[in-house]
Amino acid sequence: MRGLATAAIVCAMVAAPRPAGAEEVEAFARVVVERAEVRTGPGSSYRTIAALERGDTVAVDRRGSDQFWLKVTLEDGRNGWVLGDEVEVYAIRAGSDEADKPSRPGFFAPPPLLGARGGLSLFAGVLGSTISSRTGGSFYNVADGYFEVRPALVLSPHISIEPWGGISRTDDGTLWSVGGWGVLHLLPDLAVDPYLGAGGGGIFTRSNADALVQTDDSLYCARAGGGFLFGLRGRILVRLEATNMTLFTPNRFKNMQTYLAGLGVYF
The pLDDT of residue 92: 78
Residue numbers of the chain with a pLDDT score lower than 70: 1-25, 64-67, 94-106, 111, 115, 130-143, 171-172, 209-215, 234
Examine the domain organization and report whether 160 and 30 are in the same domain: no
The pLDDT of residue 21: 45
The pLDDT of residue 76: 73
Q: How many domains does the chain have?
A: 2
Please indicate, yes or no, if residue 108 is contained in any of the structural domains.
no
What is the domain-level CATH number for residue 232? 2.40.160.20
| Single pTM value for the model | 0.69
73: amino acid identity, one letter: T
Examine the domain organization and report whether 163 and 38 are in the same domain: no
The pLDDT of residue 14: 47
Examine the domain organization and report whether 130 and 245 are in the same domain: yes
Examine the domain organization and report whether 168 and 89 are in the same domain: no
Examine the domain organization and report whether 82 and 194 are in the same domain: no
Examine the domain organization and report whether 75 and 182 are in the same domain: no
3-state percent helix, strand, coil for the chain, nearest multiple of 5: 5, 60, 35
